[in-house]
Chains A and B, each alone.
Chain A
Amino acid sequence: MVEQVLLRAIGVRKSFGALEVLKGIDLEVRQGQVVSLIGASGSGKTTFLRCVNMLEEHDAGDILLDGDPIGYRVEGGKRRRMSETAVSAQRARIGMVFQQFNLFPHLTAEENVMLGLTKVLGKTKAEARDIAGHWLGKVGLEARRGHYPYQLSGGQQQRVAMARAVAMEPRLLLFDEVTSALDPELVAEVLQVMKALAESGMTMLVVSHEMLFVRDVSHHVVFMDQGKVAQAGSPAEVFGNPESERLRSFLGRFHGFF
Chain B
Amino acid sequence: MINYHFDWSVIARNMDRFLAALGLGLGLAVISLAIGCVLGLAVAYARVSPRRWLSGPAWFYVELIRCMPLLLLIFFIYFGLPEFGIYFMDKTQSFVLTLSLYAAAYMSEVFRAGLASIPKQYVEAAKAIGMRPWQRQRYVVLPVMFRITLPAISNNLISLFKDTSLAAAIAVPELTFLARQVNANTFRVMEVWLTASAMYLATAYLLATLLRLVERRYASIR
Contacts and interface: CB of A to CB of B under 8 A. Distances in A.
B96 to A, nearest CB: 31
B147 A106 contact: yes
Contacts, number: 78
Given A104-B140, A119-B139, A150 B221 contact: yes
A101 to B, nearest CB: 8
Interface string A64-97: 0000000000000000000011001111111110
Nearest to A86: B132
Main SS class of interface, B: helix
A100 B139 contact: no
B63 to A, nearest CB: 32
Interface residues of B, number: 22
A116 interface: yes
Interface of B: 121-122, 124-133, 135, 139-140, 143-144, 147, 218, 220-222
Given A88-B130, A98-B125, A104-B126, 16 more contacts: A55-B124, A84-B132, A88-B127, A88-B133, A90-B130, A98-B124, A100-B121, A102-B122, A102-B128, A105-B220, A106-B147, A119-B131, A148-B220, A150-B221, A161-B125, A168-B130
23 contacts: A53-B127, A55-B128, A85-B133, A88-B127, A88-B131, A88-B132, A92-B129, A92-B130, A94-B128, A95-B128, A100-B121, A102-B121, A102-B124, A104-B126, A105-B221, A106-B220, A115-B129, A116-B130, A120-B130, A120-B131, A161-B125, A165-B129, A168-B130
Interface of A: 53-55, 84-85, 88-96, 98, 100, 102-106, 115-116, 119-120, 148, 150, 161, 164-165, 168
